[in-house]
Structures are given as structure tokens and as C-alpha cells.
Amino acid sequence: MFSISFPYWHQLGVPCETPVEDLTSACLTQLLKQQTAPSDTAALIIEAVLGEGEYVPAPAAFLHGLREVCTKHNILLIIDEVQSGMGRTGDYWAIKESGVKPDILLTAKCPGNGFPISGVIYPG
């Protein structure tokens, strides 16, 4: 398992005025050239909204970039909506706002209404 920085200026240690496109490009480059080869990668898992790091939504450009990489290299794109799903961000799923369609969506907490429950949603 590998992890990369979230495309957020604070985590990357750059000025807050840095364009989101530059942040996105830096993170995608880090993923594909410094962490793992696409041919060795089965899936990418990302939170639609960074949950434990100031609650920052993933930029749409970053999510679209991930979708393109995943489609090109036959990698599953898995979106973790445990903290952001089920209407917590306005839309039912936070990923919906970006227009990106994940291969698998993960959810938990809210559907159980206090009981420990989780779900894995994927097309049949």
C-alpha cells in the first residue's frame, strides 16, 4: 500500500495561492512516478472529502485525473464515502458533485443509525 499527499496546499507545504491545477498535477505525478507503477496497481482508494485533515473536498480536477489514470491502466477507482456520504455534503454522495463515476463506493456509519454497518456499492 502506498499513499500520496492530498491536493491541498497545506499538506504540500506550498503557498495557499497555488492553483488547484498545479496541486493536482503534483499529486498525480507523485503517485505515478514516485510511488508505484500503474501496471503494479490494482486499485486507488480516495476519500471524496478528506476526513481527518481539515475536511477538504477533493478537487474535481484531481478526481477526473484519477479517473483518467484508472481507466487508461485498468485500475479500480474506489471512493471512500464513510464520512462524507449519505447527504452530509448536500448531494447524496460527495463524489457526485465532481461528475466522476467510481468503480466502487464505500459507505458506513450513517446507514446503521448507530449500529455498526457498512456497505460496498458497485455496478452489477
How many CB atoms within 10 Å of residue 112?
Answer: 12
Give pLDDT, residue 71: 93
DSSP E strands in 9-117: the ranges are 43-47, 49-50, 56-57, 76-80, 104-108
pTM of the model: 0.80
Domain membership flag for residue 2? no
Number of domains into which the chain is organized: 1
Q: Is residue 1 part of a domain?
A: no
Give tens-digit pLDDT for 38-90: 888 889 888 888 777 677 788 888 889 889 888 998 999 999 888 776 667 77
* Residue 57 C-alpha from the chain's centroid: 9
Give me the pLDDT at residue 110, please.
66
H or E stretch covering 120 = strand 118-121
Q: What percent of the chain has pLDDT over 90?
A: 10
Distance CA 87, CA 82 (A): 11
Is 4 within the bounds of a domain?
A: no
> Using the 8-state DSSP alphabet, how is residue 37 labeled?
-
Residue 80 vs residue 91, higher pLDDT: 80
Instruction: Select the highest-mean-pLDDT range: 30-34, 46-50, 109-113.
Output: 46-50
CATH of the domain at 14: 3.40.640.10
